[in-house]
């Protein structure tokens, strides 16, 4: 029994560490892509695509990475329940803030180049994801933090909170993948270093989503 528990804890530790490493790898690769191939990023610029470049930066590094880390926080660090709840909330607030800002900059980019809004599947799924994410965050806050529901109610709602959180996170992954594919097509990438970088970003995001789900699926065992 002790050996099984030790093996389980090692599996959980390795899965969590690998998820963190995926997040770091995605961050570095996205920065490498935008700085080396796409002229960087800026809120205001005569080079309008610098404004657009903030969109993948904020949505991937902010929204997806921080929301993924928030989801696995209960398995990632040994801390009191209160500290874990607050960290979970803070990471989700960062994710929501960067997500809203990411939507704003892409609308700003479209306005400055007179491009129509919300005409792709990527944009439909993405805006739906942001709205559902905000609703999930609000309901989770009033249920589990302030003012907080009764313990029996919290216990009944917790599995649904986890389930809908994972569904919304999966929607964020789908949004990122469709956005990357869309960008790949718009740039007419076929072969070359940039094409490889963009494809690897998409692959790593998919793996990140899978391992976040895996870490959540592994039951939490304490001594």
What pLDDT, in 10s, does the model give residues 121-169?
A: 999 999 999 999 999 999 999 998 888 778 888 889 999 999 999 999 9
Query: Which H helix or E strand runs over 53?
Result: helix 48-56
Please give the domain boundaries of the chain with CATH numbers for all domains: 1-217 (1.20.120.1770)
Largest CA distance in the chain: 65
For 102-112, what is the mean pLDDT?
96
Q: Which residue has the higher pLDDT, 191 or 41?
A: 41
Q: How confident is the model at residue 223 (pLDDT cuts 50, 70, 90)?
A: very low
For 165-185, what is the mean pLDDT?
97
Under 8 Å between Cβ of 127 and 118: yes
Tell me: pLDDT of 222 over 60: no
pLDDT of 77: 81
Integer Rg of the chain from CA:
19
Tell me: pLDDT of 221 over 60: no
6-15, 71-80, 94-103, range with the lowest pLDDT? 6-15
Q: How confident is the model at residue 206 (pLDDT cuts 50, 70, 90)?
A: very high
Q: Which of 208, 201, 205 is nearest to 184 (CA)?
A: 201
197 Cβ partners below 8 Å, 6+ apart? 29, 32, 33, 37
Question: Can you say how many angstroms the Cα of residue 81 is from the centroid of all Cα atoms in its chain?
Answer: 23
Q: How confident is the model at residue 42 (pLDDT cuts 50, 70, 90)?
A: very high
CA distances from 137 to 33, 86, 144, 211 (A): 31, 12, 10, 22
- Global confidence as pTM: 0.93
Over the chain, what is the mean pLDDT? 92
Other C-beta atoms lying within 10 Å of the C-beta of residue 148: 12
Q: How far apart are CA 93 and CA 137, in angstroms?
A: 8
188 Rama class: left (phi>0) / alpha (psi -120 to 50) / beta: left
């Amino acid at each position: 029994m002790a050996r099984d528990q030790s093996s389980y804890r090692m599996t959980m530790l390795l899965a969590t560490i690998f998820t963190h490493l995926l997040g770091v790898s995605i961050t570095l690769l996205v920065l490498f892509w935008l700085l080396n191939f796409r002229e960087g990023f800026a809120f205001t610029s005569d080079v309008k695509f610098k404004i657009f470049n903030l969109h993948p930066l904020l949505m991937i590094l902010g929204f997806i990475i921080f929301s993924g880390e928030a989801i696995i926080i209960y398995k990632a660090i040994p801390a009191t329940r209160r500290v874990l709840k607050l960290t979970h909330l803070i990471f989700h607030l960062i994710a929501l803030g960067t997500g809203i800002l990411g939507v704003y900059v892409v609308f700003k980019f479209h306005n400055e180049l007179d491009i129509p809004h919300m005409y792709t599947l990527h944009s439909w799924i993405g805006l739906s994801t942001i709205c559902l994410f905000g609703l999930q965050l609000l309901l989770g806050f009033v249920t589990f933090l302030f003012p907080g529901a009764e313990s029996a109610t919290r216990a009944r709602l917790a599995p649904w909170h986890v389930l809908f959180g994972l569904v919304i996170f999966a929607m964020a992954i789908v949004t990122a993948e469709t956005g990357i594919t869309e960008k790949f097509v718009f740039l007419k990438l076929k072969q070359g270093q940039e094409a490889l970088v963009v494809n690897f970003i998409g692959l790593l995001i998919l793996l990140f989503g899978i391992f976040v789900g895996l870490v959540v699926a592994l039951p939490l065992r304490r001594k």
